[in-house]
């Protein structure tokens, strides 16, 4: 069973605003969202900008990478290198709670995130 | 008076041990009526740190516990009232005030008095002892007018007293010792000689093998007359010739005392009367008086335990000790004197830096029996642990005092030699034992897995290299083959990858990953490759900013709350008033907190990411450039003021520091690099605590390498002596480039050297004798890096595309991070705590 939730697609920035294989932060409805342009994989991700470890608005400035045989995409917080899965938001080291991820799509040179 | 049914314990003496007894007894039981007599007018104070009384501490600072503590714990205090008689038959004590106090148990903690030898003239004015706060006050008063002072006794306390005289400004201070050497009870002859030369360098005049025949002067001391006919003119004399146990009360009461003083006690500290105990310096246990506080505390614990039905006994005490005497480390442990044929000794002596180390091994070389350390006692705790726990010694026991110089296997073995209870990760309180157990029992084989398993390394991260060494060392010990690899994405060590990228002329992270890696990289290999690329080509860091570590990404140090700090370069710590005003104006304009750093420059904190380019634009326009405080690169070359101003300076340390700092600025390395230049052996720039340190000598410069402060401090080691500036720069080029090319990621020079096969001797061979035949290459590679230096901030400030990246919200560049909060403290701002 799957519950479908209606999302609203909001344009948040241009593709050129986000560096290749890096991230940047956008302001959406008063909230801070980290947008990642994983150019090496041709993928885009969006998560909360807040790292739950020390409550810092920092994930957008983190390093992208992959973990394990399955090459799970991840981001490492620049403060203390806690890493989080970009697919599930789960913390991959330590026992921090998971971060919120958002649906994301690119149309032309516009980036949209799915607001829940 | 005494509450019904509570036995009364009377303590005679309110010194450190007497106080500690009360504390320990109260911790075990409150079912006692505790009465304390002290002959001094004040409550117990810390006699060990008595000399700090001269250093500005007040008598109150030295108290073991305030008056209120005794009141709160219901202790009846009789201060300034000495007990004059013990009536054992009626179990009462009689005080000078006439008070008669009954007891069920009596604890004698009467301590000791200064031993005053029977020299004609000791009664003269100007002759005093060093024992109580009152004595110190007397010394202080006398020192105010004295020009020539002497201390009789070259033991521990005597040397401390001599330091007190120096500190009090007595122009000429002499130490007179009857024995042929200083501290004859603690250290051996060679150690004494080294200590003597260090103390003489500090201005003490030391006279050994001197028997004082009489003290001259009419009513007041004016000279010391010695058995050999010589005379020393002095205005004051402090006698510190040892201690005499205060056993007169016990003797009067008919308790058994030793021939040369001391109240005889058994293993439970009981005297010959079962109701009376003696503890501390007045007690004679197995023929021994313990003149240190730690065994006294142990005795207090024993009596407290006995009175509360415990079973603790006193079985002697390890007399190992370490202290800093007038700035000189002195330590002895185990049996410092044992010699052939019961032991063999290894001795290290460096007259230049004043270091003497001796370790005594069992004849078969398998156990450490004791030793002496002068001038450098860093290894004391480890050596004491090794001796006490009978740890197995490494195959080359000299490594214990010379530092590991062996192969990688041996050095990781030295990490494994840490006791299991050694705290490796102090943030999460993870011990060495827990880390090794995780490897052997839970099959944890990577730092990442260890973080998950027990959180080691998840706090500040400072222990991660040590955790890695422990994992690898434990695995190696289990017979597993360890290949030193960067991370899961690269099967190469940093050194291997460095060579591969160079040979194949690869200049980007993606190219490196495509050729030699797999997956999409991570937070370990991206900055490591970034560092390699910078070490090879010294390209602009911001061109590949998404692979850089936290601080290199925004060319600033990220701080709590997400703000950044700004540090312009102030080479050698030299700054003009005009430059200071620029920094002041910029900090004021952008609301920054300012603080002087440990590296002699000025840090401005609390900058919003979007303000960084504007701040730097103003600094650069005023002539500043990046200080690279954010990079794994040269931070500062700290300097003392040198020969241009200092009356001791041999050479111009500031000019050399500026030249060196400007030569190596901006060059990326496996970890940060710190340096210092001192203009003389007084070493005000602390060069020996740096990755490379330079100290002026009469003939040139001494070059020290591979020291650091940090979580595991280590002194730098002497690489070359009395070299001229050209040679110095040549050696530095080779040394630094060799480090940049061969060290593991995030490995400071000290750890790099510790792991290096062959150690310092090998490094010397490479740098000085060119044993690998690469010296010319190293110099050329360094020249290339120096040639490609650019101020990264200047590039950013002048490039609108790069400037654009310094925003918090890309879709609202003018909005600053609203979660960033500051509070006020001492007139400046601070970050609101996590």
Confidence at B322, pLDDT banded by 50, 70, 90: low
Q: Can you name the residues that pair with B245 across neighbouring β-strands?
A: B112
Which chain B residue's Cα is nearest to A25? B809
Nearest to B273 by CA among B87, B489, B426: B87
Do residue B523 and residue A81 have CB atoms under 8 angstroms apart?
yes
What's the token pair of residue B578? 């005009």
A27 found inside a domain: yes
A29 found inside a domain: yes
Q: Measured between CA atoms, how close is A5 to chain B, in angstroms? A: 26
- Judge whether B539 and B610 are in contact, CB under 8 Å: no
Alpha helices, DSSP H only, in chain A? none
What tens digit of pLDDT does each residue of B368-423 get? 889 999 988 777 767 776 776 677 777 777 777 776 444 433 333 366 777 787 76
User: For residue B328, what pLDDT is reported?
Assistant: 82
Residues of A in CB contact (< 8 Å) with B are 12-13, 17-22, 24-27, 32, 35, 38, 40-41, 54-58, 61-68, 71, 73-74, 76, 78-83, 93-94
State the pairing for strand pair B92-95/B100-102. Answer: antiparallel
Q: Is B647 left (phi over 0), alpha (psi -120 to 50) or beta?
A: alpha
What tens digit of pLDDT does each residue of B633-659 get? 999 999 999 999 999 999 999 999 999
B517 contacts on A by Cβ (under 8 Å): none
Residues 6+ apart with CB under 8 A from A72: A66, A85, A86, A87, A92
What tens digit of pLDDT does each residue of A69-89 get? 889 999 999 998 999 999 999
A2 found inside a domain: no
Say how many CB pairs under 8 Å bridge A and B.
Answer: 110
What is the residue-averaged pLDDT of chain B?
88
Phi, psi of B449 (to 5 degrees): -65, -35
B572 vs B636: CA distance, rounded Å: 7
- Is residue B136 over pLDDT 90? no
Query: For A81, how many CA atoms within 13 A lie in the half-sphere containing its CB?
Result: 22
B693 vs B650: CA distance, rounded Å: 16
Do residue B810 and residue A24 have CB atoms under 8 angstroms apart?
yes
Interface test with B, best of A10, A61, A84 (most B CBs within 10 A): A61
What tens digit of pLDDT does each residue of B36-78 get? 999 988 888 877 777 767 666 777 878 888 888 999 999 999 9
CB-based contact (8 Å) between B800 and chain A? Answer: no
Instruction: Give the CA distances from residue B483 to residues A47, B284, B405, B513, B519, in Å, rounded to whole numbers and listed in that order.
Output: 36, 59, 21, 19, 19
State CA B691 to chain mean position distance.
17
- Structural domain including A35 reads 8-115
C-alpha dihedral over B289, B294, B295, B297, to 10 degrees? 120
Q: What angle do CA B208, B213, B215 make, to 5 degrees?
A: 100
Do residue A65 and residue B523 have CB atoms under 8 angstroms apart?
yes
User: For residue B1, what pLDDT is reported?
Assistant: 45
What tens digit of pLDDT does each residue of B575-613 get? 999 999 999 999 999 999 999 999 999 999 999 999 999
What tens digit of pLDDT does each residue of B151-177 get? 999 988 888 888 888 888 888 999 999
B424 vs B457: CA distance, rounded Å: 9
Tell me how crowded residue B588 is: count the other CB atoms within 10 A of its CB: 10
User: For residue B299, what pLDDT is reported?
Assistant: 93
- Judge whether B19 and B48 are in contact, CB under 8 Å: no
ipTM: 0.92
User: For residue B821, what pLDDT is reported?
Assistant: 86
Do residue A63 and residue B451 have CB atoms under 8 angstroms apart?
no
Do residue B810 and residue A79 have CB atoms under 8 angstroms apart?
no
User: For residue B110, what pLDDT is reported?
Assistant: 95
Q: Which residue in B452, B810, B817 is closest to A93 by CB distance?
A: B452
Total tally of structural domains belonging to chain A? 1
Nearest to B623 by CA among B659, B586, B650: B586
B807: helix, coil or strand? coil
B785 vs B737: CA distance, rounded Å: 10
Q: Can you name the residues that pair with B323 across neighbouring β-strands?
A: B330
What tens digit of pLDDT does each residue of B754-798 get? 988 888 988 998 999 888 889 999 999 999 999 999 899 999 999
Instruction: Give the CA distances from residue B40 to residues B45, B81, B455, in Å, rounded to whole numbers and listed in that order.
Output: 10, 8, 52
What's the token pair of residue B731? 């050696």
**Burial grade of A107 (CB within 10 A; 0-12, 13-18, 19 or more):** exposed
B505: helix, coil or strand? coil
B705 vs B762: CA distance, rounded Å: 13
User: For residue B385, what pLDDT is reported?
Assistant: 66
User: For residue B399, what pLDDT is reported?
Assistant: 76
B368 vs B364: CA distance, rounded Å: 10
CB-based contact (8 Å) between B812 and chain A? Answer: yes
Do residue B452 and residue A81 have CB atoms under 8 angstroms apart?
no
Residue identified by tokens 């706060």 is: B133
Do residue A55 and residue B553 have CB atoms under 8 angstroms apart?
no
Kindly state the average pLDDT of the residues B419-428.
71
Percentage, residues of chain B above pLDDT 70: 94
Taking the CA atoms of chain B, what radius of gyration do you get in angstroms?
Answer: 32
Q: Lowest mean pLDDT of A76-80, B320-324, B470-474, name the range.
A: B320-324
Interface test with B, best of A76, A78, A104, A112 (most B CBs within 10 A): A78
A32 found inside a domain: yes
Do residue A79 and residue B834 have CB atoms under 8 angstroms apart?
no
Which chain B residue's Cα is nearest to A82? B458
User: For residue B459, what pLDDT is reported?
Assistant: 63
Confidence at B670, pLDDT banded by 50, 70, 90: very high
What tens digit of pLDDT does each residue of B328-372 get? 888 888 888 888 788 888 888 887 778 889 999 988 888 888 999
Does the bond joining B748 to the residue before it have cis omega, within 30 degrees of 0?
A: no
Taking the CA atoms of chain A, what radius of gyration do you get in angstroms?
Answer: 14
Q: Which domains does chain B have, with CATH numbers?
A: 8-112+245-307 (3.50.50.60), 127-241 (3.50.50.60), 321-402 (3.30.390.30), 634-787 (3.30.413.10)
| CATH number of the domain within which A103 lies | 2.102.10.10
A30 found inside a domain: yes
What tens digit of pLDDT does each residue of B444-453 get? 888 888 888 8
What tens digit of pLDDT does each residue of B2-24 get? 445 789 999 999 999 999 999 98
What tens digit of pLDDT does each residue of B257-292 get? 998 899 999 999 999 999 999 999 999 999 888 887
A72 found inside a domain: yes
**Burial grade of B754 (CB within 10 A; 0-12, 13-18, 19 or more):** buried
Give the highest mean pLDDT range of A112-116, B468-472, B575-579, B815-819. B575-579
Q: Can you name the residues that pair with B431 across neighbouring β-strands?
A: B423
User: For residue B13, what pLDDT is reported?
Assistant: 94
């Amino acid at each position: 069973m799957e519950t479908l939730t209606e999302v609203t697609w909001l344009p948040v920035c241009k593709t050129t605003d986000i560096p290749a294989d890096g991230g940047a932060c956008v302001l959406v409805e008063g909230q801070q969202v980290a947008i990642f342009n994983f150019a090496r994989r041709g993928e885009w991700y969006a998560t909360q900008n807040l790292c739950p470890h020390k409550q810092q608005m920092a994930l957008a400035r983190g390093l992208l990478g992959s973990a394990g045989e399955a090459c799970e995409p991840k981001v490492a917080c620049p403060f203390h290198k806690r890493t989080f899965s970009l697919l599930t938001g789960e913390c991959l080291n330590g026992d921090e709670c998971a971060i919120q991820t958002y649906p994301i799509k690119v149309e032309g040179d516009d980036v949209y995130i799915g607001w829940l | 008076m005494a509450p019904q049914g509570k036995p009364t314990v009377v303590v005679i003496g309110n010194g450190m041990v007497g106080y500690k007894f009360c504390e320990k007894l109260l911790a075990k039981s409150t079912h006692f009526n505790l009465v304390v007599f002290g002959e001094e007018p004040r409550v117990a104070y810390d006699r060990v740190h008595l000399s700090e009384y001269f250093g500005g501490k007040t008598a109150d600072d030295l108290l073991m516990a305030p008056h209120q503590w005794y009141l709160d714990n219901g202790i009846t205090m009789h201060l300034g009232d000495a007990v004059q008689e013990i009536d054992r038959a009626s179990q009462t004590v009689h005080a000078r005030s006439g008070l008669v106090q009954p007891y069920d148990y009596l604890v004698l903690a009467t301590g000791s008095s200064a031993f005053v030898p029977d020299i004609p003239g000791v009664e003269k004015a100007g002759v005093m002892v060093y024992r109580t706060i009152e004595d110190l006050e007397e010394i202080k008063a006398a020192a105010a007018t004295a020009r020539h002072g002497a201390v009789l006794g070259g033991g521990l306390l005597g040397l401390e007293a001599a330091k007190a005289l120096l500190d009090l400004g007595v122009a000429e201070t002499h130490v007179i010792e009857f024995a042929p050497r200083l501290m004859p009870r603690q250290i051996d002859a060679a150690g004494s000689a080294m200590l003597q030369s260090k103390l003489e360098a500090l201005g003490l005049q030391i006279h050994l093998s001197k028997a004082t025949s009489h003290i001259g002067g009419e009513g007041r001391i004016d000279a010391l007359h010695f058995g050999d006919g010589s005379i020393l003119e002095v205005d004051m004399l402090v006698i510190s010739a040892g201690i005499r146990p205060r056993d007169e009360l016990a003797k009067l009461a008919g308790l058994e005392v030793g021939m040369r003083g001391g109240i005889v006690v058994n293993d439970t500290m009981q005297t010959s009367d079962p109701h009376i105990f003696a503890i501390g310096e007045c007690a004679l246990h197995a023929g021994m008086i313990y003149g240190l506080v730690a065994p006294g505390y142990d005795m207090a614990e024993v009596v407290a335990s006995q009175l509360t039905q415990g079973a603790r006994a006193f079985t002697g005490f390890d007399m190992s000790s370490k202290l800093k005497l007038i700035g000189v480390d002195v330590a002895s442990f185990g049996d410092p004197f044992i010699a052939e044929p019961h032991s063999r000794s290894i001795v290290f002596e460096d007259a230049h830096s004043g270091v003497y180390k001796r370790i005594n091994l069992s004849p078969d070389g398998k156990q450490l029996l004791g030793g002496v350390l002068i001038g450098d006692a860093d290894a004391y705790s480890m050596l004491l642990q090794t001796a006490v726990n009978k740890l197995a010694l490494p195959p080359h026991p000299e490594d214990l005092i010379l530092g590991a110089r062996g192969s990688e296997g041996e050095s990781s073995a030295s990490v494994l030699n840490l006791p299991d209870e050694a705290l490796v990760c102090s943030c999460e309180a993870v011990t060495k034992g827990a880390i090794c157990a995780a490897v052997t029992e839970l099959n944890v084989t990577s730092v990442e897995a260890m973080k998950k398993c027990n959180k080691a390394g998840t706090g500040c991260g400072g222990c991660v290299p040590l955790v890695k060494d422990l994992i690898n060392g434990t695995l190696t010990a289990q017979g597993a083959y360890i290949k030193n690899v960067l991370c899961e994405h690269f099967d190469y060590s940093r050194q291997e990858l460095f060579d591969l990228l160079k040979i194949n002329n690869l200049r980007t992270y993606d190219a490196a990953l495509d050729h030699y890696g797999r997956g999409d990289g991570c937070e370990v290999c991206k900055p490591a490759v970034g560092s390699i690329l910078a070490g090879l080509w010294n390209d602009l860091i911001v061109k590949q900013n998404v692979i850089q570590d936290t601080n290199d990404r925004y060319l600033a140090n990220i701080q709590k709350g997400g703000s950044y700090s700004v540090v312009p370069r102030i080479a050698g710590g030299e700054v003009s008033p005009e430059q200071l005003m620029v920094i002041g104006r910029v900090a004021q304009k952008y609301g920054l907190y300012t603080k002087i750093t440990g590296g002699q420059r000025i840090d401005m904190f609390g900058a919003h990411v979007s303000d960084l380019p504007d701040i730097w634009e103003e600094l650069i326009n005023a002539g500043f450039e990046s200080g690279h405080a954010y990079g794994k690169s040269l931070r500062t070359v700290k300097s003392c003021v040198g020969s241009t101003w200092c009356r001791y300076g041999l050479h111009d340390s500031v000019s050399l520091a500026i030249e060196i700092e400007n030569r190596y600025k901006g060059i990326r390395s496996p970890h940060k690099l710190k340096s210092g230049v001192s203009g003389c052996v007084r070493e005000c720039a602390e060069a020996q605590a740096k990755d490379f340190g330079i100290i002026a000598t009469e003939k040139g410069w001494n070059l020290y390498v591979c020291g650091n402060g940090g979580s595991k401090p280590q002194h730098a080691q002497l690489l070359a002596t009395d070299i001229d500036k050209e040679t110095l720069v040549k050696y530095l080029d080779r040394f630094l480039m060799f480090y940049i090319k061969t060290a593991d990621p995030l490995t400071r020079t000290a750890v790099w050297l510790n792991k290096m096969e062959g150690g310092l001797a090998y490094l010397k061979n490479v740098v000085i004798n060119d044993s690998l035949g690469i010296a010319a290459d190293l110099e050329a590679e360094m020249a290339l890096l120096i040639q490609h230096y650019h101020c990264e901030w200047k590039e950013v400030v002048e490039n609108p595309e790069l400037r654009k990246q310094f925003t918090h919200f890309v879709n609202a560049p003018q909005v600053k991070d609203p979660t960033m909060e500051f509070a006020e403290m001492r007139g400046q701002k601070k970050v609101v705590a996590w």
